[in-house]
Structure 1
Amino acid sequence: MNNYQPYFDLGKLIAKYLQKELTEQEQDELEQWLQADEHNQELFKKLTDQTIIDSELETFEANDKNKAWRNIVKKTGFKSPARKKTTIKSWPAYAAAIVILIALGVTLTRYRNASGEQKMAVKPQKDLLPGSNKAILTLADGSKIVLDNAKRGKIANQQNVVITKDQSGELVYQAAETSQNEELPPVEKNVMNTLATPRGGQYQIVLPDGTRVWLNSASSLKYPTAFAGNERRVELNGEAYFEVSKDPNKPFYVKTATQTVTVLGTHFNINSYADEIATKTTLLEGSVRVTGNTNGVMAKLKPGEQAVNTINAIDVKENADIDEAVAWKNGKFLFRNTDLHTIMRQLSRWYDVDVEYQGNVAQKHYRGRISRNVPVSDIFQILKTSGINFTIDGRKIIVRS
């Protein structure tokens, strides 16, 4: 029996979660369990799926609670393989039946008032889907191309460069092919293109020199159609991950509103959103120099370091959290002691929503990892364990204590 005691503890936590009666300590315990394993998050979502609960309660009979909850377990799709010893840190799917029978055996009657009518605390609401690959390309003449609607293949031809959307959907700039005797016109300077992603969008591009850039949501990259002269310069608003092609004779510059990054060839991430309190440059490979645009402060980074530019100063973190900095590029949300407002700003950009706070919402911090390719309600399940409630109203998320 001792081997299965944690199941009963978890059952009580889920029961109290459904009744909105978790203490602060119990919230921490439930959150710790959720963050221990991605499977726990999926299991929790299944066990608290309001649609399944609503459906089963419609046919609920007070004299057969266990049957009702066995039906809910069945609807979640979990099966019960042979038992084996486990720990509270990682919960296998077969624990679902035990958790459900204990947790909801306690709570079923509490969902009914004295007259026996159903009383649900939360109604199902329309979910918000994650972002996808979409962007708008603005050419030098001002014409715009919606890339998510554009067919794969050649899109335009500028400055001896062919612009194509390849089979993977990536935007690629390549030098135009010429015959042996054909002479190309000279490349003009300052013939610029702009790639911009909306909220709920992301995109990848290969620049004329072979540099690859991943552009996060609500971001833009301005760059020349061909890198003429002895340098390569681009301008960034928002967030992007760069893999710069090496060219010792032609340094690469990334200018943002607050700083300029100088590099010969390396991998790094820049987060320069206007609504963040600092611009963060995180280096994965090579070497870069970060220079403040207004104060001239300079910092040189080595791999594994991060420059935090707050306009007045540039602080260098020697052991930066690389995984967290590039999680978005790898299709993940990664929270490591991340405050609620920072998380909501990320959700606002990726799910294309506004965020409204009502009441005195505590500034809690969270730890966890979850895919960016899930509906926003999946992330709410993690955040709700600390007593924060979320309501979706059209394209707005309302946050309440």
Structure 2
Amino acid sequence: MNNNRLRYLLNRYANGTATPEELEALSAFLQAAENDPQLELMIEEAWIQSADADGTLFSTLPAPIPARQHNTILRPVKRWYRPLWAAAVLLLLIAGGTWLLLNGHKKNKIPPLTAGNNPAARMAPGSNKATLTLASGATITLDSHINKSPDSLPFYTTAGQLIYHKNTGNTGQAISYNLLRTPKGGQYQLLLPDGSKVWLNAASSLKFPTAFTTTTRQVELSGEAYFEISNNARQPFEVIANNTNITVLGTRFNIMAYQNETAVKTTLLQGAVKVSRQQESRLLKPGEQSLFPADGDLQVIENADVELAVAWKNGFTSFRSADIRTIMRQVERWYDVEVVYNGHIPERTFTGDIPRDAQLTELLKLLEVSKIHFSMEGNQLVVMP
């Protein structure tokens, strides 16, 4: 089937105007494995043609490339296209899902996730929610608007942000510690008593004092957070995360310290931080990233991808040359699912961005075009070849 005929059938299919004969012809084409290269080349061609258009679409489209390279690139798709390619790019998105769905009925394949037949279609992305544990042990849920009087508690909340009153300057006052914790599928912002700002990612926690009255402003992090530290040379700020100490005066940086990641990553955007563990230490400059493996030596990347490090804070799920397991760890935390693997998963890497408010199925469909499949069993997301 030539490309013009294929585009015509895809257009008819998307508009709901295809005749039974046209649907049969399209189905036969999509089910034939020998036609895969033609469809993949059309997708790649559609990207190139749409690269200079204005605006962006919320989704991304995988770029199939020769299998020997084992790499799939998920690039932004433009919202508006030149008229000739308007149907082509949009419908190829649909065609990718149709292709997998129809091929899914072949032997040893499982139908991919669709809105109509799988609970993953109802798996919503995360949102602003957290719990605050006070020194007394009392726990407050922060997934709704609450406002506390300054006379009752040392904080109040706005939409998605917990705000503590500034230090009184009384260094003799007793210090109490609070714990802000986000669940899987949650995120929250925090304004500390010194004016420093913290963005807490999913499945993370931050322990901090209600007032900074000692010579060092110290907090403890588990998981991931982005910091914008209020400058105070007389009172350095220190973050403790997985036995790693990050000391700063006034700066912007991101720390990823999840237990199931390979290393504690500190990425510096502005200012300077000192990263240390036992006898090893390094002063980072803007644009650098340190990696502290659990059982390895300190490593420093001088020209780090700082945009990637803070993509989550800016509203994106992003990955660069990441394998499926790396991506799935983000999926577990943000969509609050348990990921399990069934069979030998192809060794492929992916690069792309998708907004954090996208549905789970929108992300999975992108990966399925690269012949990795998924199914839902309760709260388990099963990854299959």
Give the TM-score band, short-chain normalised. Answer: 0.7 to 0.9
Amino acid at match of 1:301: L
Q: Which residue of 2 aligns with 1:188?
A: 174
Q: Deviations over 1:129-157 (max 9, x none)?
A: 10100000000111000011452344884
Decide which of 293, 312, 318 is 1:310's aligned counterpart.
293
Is the CA contact (8 Å cut-off) linking 1:282 and 1:307 kept in structure 2? yes
User: Deviation at 1:169?
Assistant: 3.2
Q: Aligned equivalents of 2:357 and 2:43: distance in 1?
A: 21
Change (3 A) 1:83 1:20: same
Matched, 1:392 2:384: no
- Correspondence for 2:352: 368
Question: Aligned-residue CA RMSD in angstroms?
Answer: 4.2
Matched residues in 2 for 1:363 and 1:111: separation? Answer: 20
Once the two structures are superposed, the pairs formed by residues 70-81 of structure 1 within 5 Å of their partners are none
Matching residue's letter, 2:285? K
Provide the rounded CA distance (Å) in 1 between the counterparts of 2:239 and 2:279.
15
| 2:162 alignment partner, one of 135, 160, 171 | 171
Provide the identity percentage: 38
Find the aligned partners of 2:145 and 2:195 in 1 and give their Cα distance.
22
State the Cα deviation string for residues 309-346 of structure 1 (Å, max 9, x = none): 11431110011001110000011011111111010000
The 5-angstrom pairing of residues 299-338 of structure 1 reads 299-311=282-294, 312-338=296-322
Change (3 A) 1:325 1:104: closer
Counterpart of 1:198 in structure 2 is 183
Cα separation, 2, equivalents of 1:197 and 1:101: 35
Instruction: Find the aligned partners of 1:348 and 1:147 in 2 and give their Cα distance.
Output: 21
Aligned equivalents of 1:102, 1:375: Cα separation in 2: 19
Does the 8 Å CA contact 1:354/1:397 hold for their aligned counterparts? yes
Which secondary structure state, in structure 1, belongs to the residue aligned with residue 332 of structure 2?
helix
In 1, the alpha carbon distance for the partners of 2:256 and 2:286 equals: 17
Contact 2:30–2:99 (CA under 8 A) maintained in structure 1: no
Q: Does residue 272 in structure 1 map to residue 264 in structure 2? A: no
- Partner amino acid, structure 2, of 1:221: L
Displacement of 1:382 after TM fit? 1.0
When residues 399 and 35 of structure 1 are mapped into structure 2, their CA distance, relative to the original with a 3 A threshold, is: farther
CA distance in 1, matches of 2:94, 2:132: 55
1:178-199 CA distance string (max 9 Å, x none): xxxxx9894113x100000000
Unaligned runs of 5+ in 1: 45-78, 85-91, 114-119, 178-182
2:195 aligned to which of 198, 203, 210:
210
Output aligned runs, 1:198-277, within 5 Å: 198-277=183-262
| Map of 1:88 onto structure 2 | none
Q: Kindly tell me: are residues 43 and 231 of structure 1, through their superposed partners in 2, closer, same or farther at Cα, counting changes over 3 Å?
A: closer
CA gap of 1:142–1:102, structure 2 versus 1, over 3 A, is closer
The residue identity in structure 1 corresponding to 2:177 is: M
1:141 equivalent in alignment to 2:136:
yes
Counterparts of 2:380 and 2:102 in 1: how far apart (Å)?
34
Query: Which is bigger in relative contact order (C-alpha 8 A, separation at least 6)?
Result: 2
Distance between the aligned counterparts of 1:290 and 1:248, measured in 2? 17
Distance in 1 of aligned mates of 2:281 and 2:39: 44
How far residue 95 of structure 1 moved from its aligned partner, in angstroms, is 2.8
Q: Paired residue for 2:86, among 93, 103, 126?
A: 93
How many Å separate the matches in 2 of 1:105 and 1:210?
Answer: 52
Asked whether the equivalents of residues 28 and 385 of structure 1 are also in contact (C-alpha less than 8 Å), the reply is no
Is 2:40 the partner of 1:21? no
| Deviates further, 353-362 or 98-107 | 98-107
Q: Is the 8 A contact 1:80 1:94 kept in 2?
A: no
Distance 1:327 1:238 in 2: 15
Q: Is residue 2:279 matched to residue 1:296?
A: yes
Q: 2:335 aligns with which of 351, 375, 395?
A: 351
Q: Name the aligned partner's letter for residue 126 of structure 2.
A: G
Q: Which amino acid aligns with 2:86?
A: A
CA distance 1:283–1:24, change in 2 (3 Å)? farther
Aligned match of 1:83: 83
Contact 2:60 2:352 in 1 (8 A): no
Structure index of larger Rg = 1
2:81 and 2:46 map into 1 onto residues whose CA distance is 22
Q: State the distance in 2 between where 1:156 and 1:16 align.
A: 71
TM-score, with normalisation over the residues of structure 2? 0.75
Deviation at 1:35, TM superposition (A): 7.8
